[in-house]
Amino acid sequence: MGFYTGVKDMEGCPLNLLLSREQIASIVKDLADQISKDYREKELVLVCILKGAFMFLSDLIRHLRLPVQIDFVRLASYGAGTKTSGRIEITKDIEISIKGKDVLIIEDIIDSGRTLQFLKDRLSLSNPRSVKICALLDKKARREVEIEADYLGKEIDNVFVVGYGIDFNETYRHLPEIYYITPGNQRKK
């Protein structure tokens, strides 16, 4: 039941369900409730890290009970593999002013933490009132720098995940659930 039969295995590895649509929706609503409470009567800018977090952002803003501004940044650190390269490149920067505003970075998954630390430091140079992080998933086992999400959906094991905007070589983003891969040719029962 946990296997999505509508797509091919990921390079011969089965896709195993990690989070269902219902679980994701519950996590997103809970995060939105907390953010709405914490940022009531504040000028909040959501900075979404493309491309992986776009579905998360889209669902999150529908549950927020406060006005927000939205901008996007694209940072490349993965290339065409399953492990981060360690080198971070900005391929799309924010376009609106964040000076004096509260900024909430929207991220799909925290891995090494290097990308988020880089972005947080970079955004801080624009003198925002605050810079915090909201992440759907967190792989603490892979952390290389000390950084934590201020708002976290779920901590996960050190597995490679796809779906709900998260890709592998630009595929699997369309899946409405989040899956992890199991190396080898055996499907998880």
> Is 111 an annotated catalytic residue?
yes
HSE-CB at 119 with a 13 A cutoff on CA atoms is 32
Long-range contacts of 21-27, Cβ-Cβ distance < 8 Å, separation of 24 or more: 21/176, 21/177, 24/59, 24/136, 24/164, 24/177, 24/178, 25/59, 27/136, 27/153, 27/154
Query: What tokens were used for 154?
Result: 């779920």
- Tell me which residue of 14, 118, 29, 130 sits closest to 73, measured CA to CA: 118
Active-site entry in 102, 108, 111, 138: 111
Q: Which residues contact 123 (CB under 8 A, 6 or more apart)?
A: 47, 94, 98, 103, 105, 131
Q: Which residue has the tokens 């899946």?
A: 175
Rounded Cα distance, 28 and 164, in Å: 12
Report d(CA 62, CA 151) in Å as an integer: 17
d(CA 150, CA 147): 10
The set of catalytic residues is: 111
